[in-house]
Structure 1
Amino acid sequence: MHAERYHDGIDPADYWVSEKLDGVRAHWDGGRLHLRSGQPISAPAWFVAALPAVTLDGELWLGRRSFDRLSGLIRRNAPDDPGWREVRYMVFDIPGAEGDFSTRVHQLRALAERAAVPWLEAVPQTRVTDLRALQRRFEEVVRGGGEGLMLHRASARWTPGRSSALLKLTPWHDAEARVLAHLPGKGRLQGLTGSLLVETPDGRRFRLGSGLSDALRRTPPPPGTLVTYRYRELTPAGLPRFPRYLRVRDLP
């Protein structure tokens, strides 16, 4: 399932609420851990041996503001790296399972309890009574360095694809665009990539330079790569205002 955005008029009391984790989305098919693209993840044998023989959806996570360190660990394809001892598989759904989301929440908790290992956790899910309580929770998470919140309708059955049953609440918008070209840098960035020329799914083109580290400017995502960016709002021309590169959507 993929989330839509939360908006005013939705009663949060109908939803389970969890923190939006800044990790790497990972699917477990009961025998193999892989990215959304289907590429296998080279996790240690001891890590996957503890996972149950059911399909799970979740995030590999090292904690808040640790995405770059985590993605580096996964890119290295080194399951013997001791860094894996810090990684947790935070599971938030059971694709294809029967019953509503409330039922799946309890099933996830039971699966994590039976596994009894520190690297498999059910994402904490709580309920709020009203919009004011949701706002307090949101402010608490963002103030602590979190990305925002996820809301999953308690009565919803699992369905593939984007769904209004799953919502995200963040202080910014995020979207995806395809890299078309690397534009040269100037001044301090002479000889490096100054920005990426990207195109949205509906054909809008713009430059994406903010958020690129020097390492990325030396070896930027190649043309054709789908990347995620953040922005505050759209201009009257429909372009993102203050877009900032976030990450490659799926690790290569």
Structure 2
Amino acid sequence: MLAAWPVRSATGAPPPALMLAGVYRPGIPVNAYWLSEKYDGLRAYWDGQRLRTRGGDALAVPAWFTAGWPAEPMDGELWAGRGRFEEAMSTVRQQTPNDEAWRRIRFMVFDLPAHPGPFTDRIAAYHGLVSRIDQPWVRAVPQERVASHAALMAQLDRMVKEGGEGLMLHRGDAPYRAVRNDDLLKVKTHEDAEARVVGHVPGLGRHAGRMGALQVETPEGVRFRLGTGFTDAQREQPPALGAWVTYRFRGVSAKGVPRFASFLRVRPDAPR
């Protein structure tokens, strides 16, 4: 489901219409899907003129980074490498782009939103497009087939051991649909999701005088407290009201409340 409240960029522009990922569940026929790495960076959308976040904000990028890019929209991830999420976020969020830092960023292209064909056709199309762009910082995400749930879990185990975040499954016969559905699935060793900060709960005991927990709200409208996973520095300066945060959890209650939820990081972009 999409957010229950309007989501707009800081400049008031509506967010781009992007495909949003569901969560893999055993029993889904994996042989109908293509498999790729899940890149832990910033979702970015090239609209033919500007590189934008999924929240709609235009990113401040060096002119050379997007020079010569086509008018065709591209969906991808701005990525600094495995285990370097914070570096990617720091680089991308700067209002004045740092050339040296941007040299370490890659735009990992994984789809073409305006292409009318199924994903299997779009794979060849985006590989061809990236080849024509011919820039080392623009890369086509490799895709492969997986035969079974057991093979998928083995791939996930290898990916995590190699420092990756997880995997993505994309149904081969699916058109590009800008909604959250099972055509696109995240495969991870834990569940995570995003929520918006709607309140700060004062701390008690050793946390007296600083934030004890965040009151957050999911895109489906479920509110709960997020009280673990924070450093002392984050409790002194907690995420601002309206900020999006990512949290880990283990299933949900009958009322949809995440169980054992723990803060992971602030997300500067809107939820996907």
- Normalised by the length of structure 1, the TM-score is 0.91
- CA, structure 1 residues 213+110, in 2 after alignment: closer, same or farther (shift >3 Å)? farther
Name the CA distance, whole Å, in 2 between partners of 1:202 and 1:68.
27
| Cα drift, residue 27 of structure 1 | 0.5
Name the CA distance, whole Å, in 1 between partners of 2:237 and 2:97.
24
1:56 corresponds, among 74, 79, 95, to 74
Q: Which deviates more, 46-55 or 197-206?
A: 197-206
Match of 1:142 in 2: 160
- CA, structure 1 residues 27+215, in 2 after alignment: closer, same or farther (shift >3 Å)? farther
Match of 1:239 in 2: 257
- What is the identity, as a one-letter code, of the residue corresponding to 2:193? A
Length, aligned pairs only = 252
| Cα drift, residue 190 of structure 1 | 4.4
Name the CA distance, whole Å, in 1 between partners of 2:165 and 2:53.
21
Match of 1:226 in 2: 244
Name the CA distance, whole Å, in 2 between partners of 1:40 and 1:226.
18
| Cα drift, residue 203 of structure 1 | 4.5
Name the CA distance, whole Å, in 2 between partners of 1:115 and 1:222.
39
CA contact (8 A) 1:177 1:227 kept: yes
| Cα drift, residue 216 of structure 1 | 3.1
Name the CA distance, whole Å, in 2 between partners of 1:215 and 1:49.
39
- CA, structure 1 residues 214+64, in 2 after alignment: closer, same or farther (shift >3 Å)? farther
For 1:162-199, what per-residue CA distance to the aligned partner results, in whole angstroms no more than 9, with x for missing partners? 12211111111122322121223355544432321213
1:65 aligns to 2:83 (yes or no): yes
- CA, structure 1 residues 203+27, in 2 after alignment: closer, same or farther (shift >3 Å)? closer
Name the CA distance, whole Å, in 2 between partners of 1:16 and 1:246.
28
Name the CA distance, whole Å, in 1 between partners of 2:101 and 2:204.
37
For 1:106-155, what per-residue CA distance to the aligned partner results, in whole angstroms no more than 9, with x for missing partners? 11111222222111001111112222221211111122222211111111
Large movers: runs of 4+ above 6 Å: none
Q: Which deviates more, 131-140 or 205-214?
A: 205-214
Match of 1:212 in 2: 230
Match of 1:182 in 2: 200
1:105 corresponds, among 92, 116, 123, to 123
SS at match of 1:91: strand
Match of 2:147 in 1: 129
| Cα drift, residue 67 of structure 1 | 1.4
- CA, structure 1 residues 238+101, in 2 after alignment: closer, same or farther (shift >3 Å)? closer
CA contact (8 A) 2:190 2:248 kept: yes
For 1:21-74, what per-residue CA distance to the aligned partner results, in whole angstroms no more than 9, with x for missing partners? 111010001110011111111111110114332100111001122112211222
| Cα drift, residue 241 of structure 1 | 2.4
- CA, structure 1 residues 203+55, in 2 after alignment: closer, same or farther (shift >3 Å)? closer
Name the CA distance, whole Å, in 1 between partners of 2:221 and 2:49.
39
1:3 aligns to 2:11 (yes or no): no
- What is the identity, as a one-letter code, of the residue corresponding to 2:196? R
CA contact (8 A) 2:34 2:171 kept: yes
Name the CA distance, whole Å, in 2 between partners of 1:139 and 1:155.
27
Name the CA distance, whole Å, in 2 between partners of 1:217 and 1:81.
33
| Cα drift, residue 20 of structure 1 | 1.1
Aligned CA-pair RMSD: 2.1
CA contact (8 A) 2:26 2:149 kept: no
1:196 aligns to 2:214 (yes or no): yes
- Normalised by the length of structure 2, the TM-score is 0.84
CA contact (8 A) 1:15 1:151 kept: yes
Gaps of 5+ in 1: none
The sequence identity of aligned pairs, in percent, is 48
- What is the identity, as a one-letter code, of the residue corresponding to 2:35? V
Q: Which deviates more, 227-236 or 184-193?
A: 184-193
For 1:68-119, what per-residue CA distance to the aligned partner results, in whole angstroms no more than 9, with x for missing partners? 2211222222213411110000011100212111111011111222222111
